[in-house]
Chains A and B, each alone.
Chain A
């Protein structure tokens, strides 16, 4: 009798759990790059898929294709009771601010921008820490002790990448040469592989043999130029090691996938918190990528050294200066 009761109670409990799970309606809104951009937006998709696989809870997503859709779609998501709504890309911030005010009970997750509202979780990454790591590896692997950086558009965010990289490179060898170029001052700089390739070649002529691109689609040209010249390249945002196996030294990954997955899980467990989250190495928000495509480039000693530096940054023994704190790269 008692077992039967327990069993019944158990079934009832799991039924309740199933109901409460079914009530969670997570969603993602991608920015114009599209769901499969191999970079930023795709990372949110990967995270949402991982959540779906683990919990069996499906999510809804939408790819923005014109400006007219932004407000309409976010509003419809909120009206239909989707929560949390993970919004990728700083260009969506003004719309999040508008809609989140109208729906105080809906949870929003703003990636890469800050929206200061009680129902919005804003997530910012410590890109300088991840860039420090790949900068250190770049100098470790550079034969000429000369490493290069190609930024996309010249904005503070990208200077933050470049400054972290420079610090990492000089941490390994104080005399290392670090060359840095920005592709341009307009958004077309995010998608100019030709210019990326030209800038990379110019840096190679000056002795650079490991190059890091934080330039969106421009990076593709940089990597190709590195492969053609027999040099090494470092990818960004998503793990791009697979693009040129054996030629990509590593990638500085920004774990937008984890941010998305965590947000969904927090909602599921009733632990969603609003406010600003700044995620770095310690939180697993940024990291360097080690997989089957670049393992052969590295020795055990390299990997050990990287592990030490990583621990050093997390423990605070190695201080990485954030360009945005002083608007300059003096450290």
Chain B
């Protein structure tokens, strides 16, 4: 009987119902804020939703473009989280990976076409991101420096390094004073609205590119890694209890370093989407906080690739819908949009247990009652 208390609530409750309730609560509080500035919350949410899913002006495809970034950074946080590591350095890892994009494109974009450059950029982004993740990983494993502190600091180092690189080395090669030149157009993955006519449909402008497919492939790979490989097992074991893992013969330090490399590489892939495909040039602060949003995405997606895709779509919709909202209702400033996004993060991340525990308790009680009934029936 007592072991039944540990029973988990059904999966659809954990990754479906609870996030939905959290979202509803966040939007309810947001609507109070919208009311406070004298706007109609129903109209505001209608504009946000329409702006995020409409196809007539590229709303849906821009949502997917943002989601592509969030999937990469969300996966990065999730992989580290399975090993019990809180990687808040996704921002810096992605930013440094932008340097790899610039290195590859500036040297090779006049000689190679997209089929050769894109794989090189992927390798470069993953390598630079991994490097920026593996150093804090090493410091955690071998020196005991806490990963939260080191990854935050590495964000600052990345910002300083990239500003310097952009201003001193990269912008003199043909860009403005704080960005690079555009990469040659036949060296860059075409965007969906550019591909659309040759595939027989029309699409309005958006920054969405086929990199979304790469992001989805990464989701599948992460799922296989975490739940279907020995390394994944080791990662999860270290995450649950490093001492037990060591006792069981797992080299926990090695696992930590490898996990941080994978995590950093995934974060670095965001630069592949943003600096290579979407913007087509390296821009100061191109990461725009997407790396930090990865934390919220991973939290809301319960560190599961499928949940991360859903959460990334939600946050993509919030970003794109927020842009439309600013556009349609002038009295709603970017700060207001930030409040709404913040409330969603607050209720799904920080106040997670507020809803999770009572709801799960209901389902656990029901499971126990069912089990008891089954036992009684068996007797």
Interface residues of A (CB under 8 A from B): 34-35, 60-63, 65-69, 71-73, 75-76, 79, 90-91, 93-94, 113, 153, 155, 185-188
Known: A67-B279, A68-B207, A187-B167. A90 touches B177 (CB 8 A): yes
Find out whether the CB atom of A61 lies under 8 angstroms from the CB atom of B330: yes
Known: A61-B330, A67-B279, A93-B176. A186 touches B167 (CB 8 A): yes
Find out whether the CB atom of B163 lies under 8 angstroms from the CB atom of A188: yes
Known: A68-B65, A186-B160. A62 touches B205 (CB 8 A): no
Chain B 296-341 residues near chain A, CB threshold 8 A: 319, 323, 326-327, 330, 333-334, 337-338
- In the assembled complex, the Cα of A300 lies from the Cα of B218 at a distance in Å of 72
- In the assembled complex, the Cα of A324 lies from the Cα of B150 at a distance in Å of 43
Question: Residue B109 at the A interface, CB < 8 A?
Answer: no
Known: A66-B288, A67-B283, A68-B278. A186 touches B327 (CB 8 A): no
Known: A67-B286, A68-B278. A62 touches B159 (CB 8 A): no
Question: Residue B9 at the A interface, CB < 8 A?
Answer: no
Q: Which of B62, B178, B289, B326 contacts A91 (CB 8 A)?
A: B178
- In the assembled complex, the Cα of A73 lies from the Cα of B320 at a distance in Å of 11
Q: Which of A61, A68, A72, A79 contacts B288 (CB 8 A)?
A: A68
- In the assembled complex, the Cα of A71 lies from the Cα of B167 at a distance in Å of 23
In the assembled complex, which residues on chain A have CB atoms less than 8 Å from the CB atom of B65?
A: 68
In the assembled complex, which residues on chain A have CB atoms less than 8 Å from the CB atom of B323?
A: 69, 72-73
Find out whether the CB atom of A185 lies under 8 angstroms from the CB atom of B167: yes
Find out whether the CB atom of B167 lies under 8 angstroms from the CB atom of A60: no
Name the CB-closest residue of B to A65. B334
Name the CB-closest residue of A to B182. A94
Name the CB-closest residue of A to B275. A67
Name the CB-closest residue of B to A92. B176
Chain B 50-74 residues near chain A, CB threshold 8 A: 57-58, 62, 65-66
Name the CB-closest residue of A to B205. A75
- In the assembled complex, the Cα of A69 lies from the Cα of B167 at a distance in Å of 23
Find out whether the CB atom of A68 lies under 8 angstroms from the CB atom of B66: yes
In the assembled complex, which residues on chain A have CB atoms less than 8 Å from the CB atom of B337?
A: 65
Tell me the number of A-to-B contacts counted with CB atoms below 8 Å: 76
- In the assembled complex, the Cα of A15 lies from the Cα of B344 at a distance in Å of 49
In the assembled complex, which residues on chain B have CB atoms less than 8 Å from the CB atom of A113?
A: 176
In the assembled complex, which residues on chain B have CB atoms less than 8 Å from the CB atom of A155?
A: 177
Rounded to whole Å, the gap between the CB of A81 and the closest CB of chain B is 14
Count class of interface residues, chain B: 35 or more
Name the CB-closest residue of B to A102. B205
In the assembled complex, which residues on chain A have CB atoms less than 8 Å from the CB atom of B178?
A: 91, 187
- In the assembled complex, the Cα of A181 lies from the Cα of B338 at a distance in Å of 37
- Can you name 19 A-B residue pairings with CB atoms under 8 Å? A61-B330, A63-B333, A65-B337, A65-B338, A66-B290, A67-B274, A67-B279, A72-B58, A72-B62, A72-B205, A72-B323, A75-B205, A90-B177, A91-B283, A94-B179, A94-B281, A185-B167, A186-B164, A187-B163
Question: Residue B108 at the A interface, CB < 8 A?
Answer: no
Rounded to whole Å, the gap between the CB of A192 and the closest CB of chain B is 12
Name the CB-closest residue of A to B289. A66
- In the assembled complex, the Cα of A116 lies from the Cα of B176 at a distance in Å of 15
- In the assembled complex, the Cα of A61 lies from the Cα of B330 at a distance in Å of 8
Question: Residue B206 at the A interface, CB < 8 A?
Answer: yes
Name the CB-closest residue of B to A35. B333
Q: Which of A69, A71, A94, A188 contacts B176 (CB 8 A)?
A: A94
Rounded to whole Å, the gap between the CB of A58 and the closest CB of chain B is 9
Find out whether the CB atom of A73 lies under 8 angstroms from the CB atom of B163: no
In the assembled complex, which residues on chain B have CB atoms less than 8 Å from the CB atom of A94?
A: 176, 179, 182, 281
Question: Residue B168 at the A interface, CB < 8 A?
Answer: yes
- In the assembled complex, the Cα of A79 lies from the Cα of B179 at a distance in Å of 27
Find out whether the CB atom of A185 lies under 8 angstroms from the CB atom of B334: no
Question: Residue B284 at the A interface, CB < 8 A?
Answer: yes
In the assembled complex, which residues on chain B have CB atoms less than 8 Å from the CB atom of A65?
A: 288, 334, 337-338
- In the assembled complex, the Cα of A186 lies from the Cα of B162 at a distance in Å of 9
Q: Which of A34, A186, A188 contacts B334 (CB 8 A)?
A: A34
- In the assembled complex, the Cα of A76 lies from the Cα of B334 at a distance in Å of 17
Name the CB-closest residue of B to A77. B327
- In the assembled complex, the Cα of A308 lies from the Cα of B178 at a distance in Å of 39
- In the assembled complex, the Cα of A186 lies from the Cα of B177 at a distance in Å of 10
In the assembled complex, which residues on chain B have CB atoms less than 8 Å from the CB atom of A71?
A: 205, 207
Q: 19 additional contacts, CB 8 Å, given A113-B176, A186-B163?
A: A60-B330, A61-B330, A63-B326, A67-B285, A67-B286, A67-B288, A68-B278, A68-B288, A71-B205, A72-B205, A73-B327, A75-B205, A91-B178, A91-B283, A94-B281, A186-B164, A186-B167, A187-B163, A187-B178
In the assembled complex, which residues on chain A have CB atoms less than 8 Å from the CB atom of B334?
A: 34, 63, 65
- In the assembled complex, the Cα of A79 lies from the Cα of B204 at a distance in Å of 11
